[in-house]
Amino acid sequence: MNYDFKIFDGKIAGAREWLAREYAGLRTGRASPAILDGISVSAYGSMAPIKQVANVGIEDARTLRVSAWDASIIKDIERAITAANLGIGTTADSSGLRITFPELTVERREQLVKIAKHKLEEARTAIRVARDETWKDIQEKEREGALTEDDKFQLKEELQKRVDNGNGELEKAFEKKEAEMSA
């Protein structure tokens, strides 16, 4: 019963990392530079992520400081952040931009929890797809004679254990983010 689950384990790790990145971008009322990761700025004739044209730092619990490397693109950065419609305030000053995070309302928290649940379901779907691909591969190997029927069912149990562990890790990430949004 020799079967390599490396590809499947890699897909679970990929789903876990994707979910972590998505959750990093969900605003929780605390200042987090990760919220700006998905925003691109029109600078020097092309689009570039904010972190490639400016430093982003935390000023206090609800404020980020964006310091552009070239003062001429501050207005472009401000436009890009405003256009992203993240529900955050931007103010330009002499040294760059100040990004302020308003307190979350109850309705916004509920909306963020729904978004987080949707992201969780997307990650679970990725694991289900990977499970189905791996199961088809195991069945194909059994048809070819590389595995016995007993091996196939033992591998199915092992595969389900890995799926359950992966889903459990995703659920823990969701619960952590939910607690963070409720605090």
| pLDDT tier at 39, thresholds 50, 70, 90 | confident
Query: Would you say residue 1 lies in a domain?
Result: no
For the cut 70, the answer to whether the pLDDT of residue 183 exceeds it is: no
**Is there a contact between 56 and 66 (Cβ–Cβ < 8 Å)?**
yes
Inter-CA distances, 43 with 13, 76, 77, 78, Å? 34, 7, 9, 12
113 and 50 in one domain?
no
Residue 163 and residue 117 in one domain: yes
The Cα angle at residue 116 between residues 113 and 120, in degrees rounded to 5: 135
The pLDDT of residue 21 is above 90 = no
Domain finish residue from 52, 70, 100: 100
Is pTM beyond 0.75 here?
Answer: no
Domain region containing 14:
6-24+105-182
- Residues of the chain above pLDDT 90, percent: 32
Torsion of the alpha carbons at 120, 50, 111 and 115, rounded to the nearest 10? -20
* Residue 170 vs residues 75, 119, 166: alpha-carbon distances, Å: 39, 10, 6
With beta carbons less than 8 A apart as the criterion, state whether 158 and 115 touch. Answer: no
Phi, then psi, of 47 in degrees rounded to 5: -90, 135
Is residue 112 included in any domain, yes or no?
yes
Task: Output the CA torsion 81→86→102→122 (10° steps).
Answer: -140
| Domain closes at, from 49, 80, 100 | 100
- Residue ending a domain, choose from 100, 117, 146: 100
| Cβ-proximal residues to 68 (8 Å cutoff; 6+ apart), any chain | 53, 54, 74, 77, 96, 97
**pLDDT at 84 exceeding the cut of 80:** no
CATH code of the domain in which 82 resides: 3.30.1360.40
What confidence tens digit (pLDDT) does each residue in 104-146 have?
A: 778 878 888 888 899 999 999 999 999 999 999 999 988 988 8
Share of the chain above pLDDT 70, in %: 97
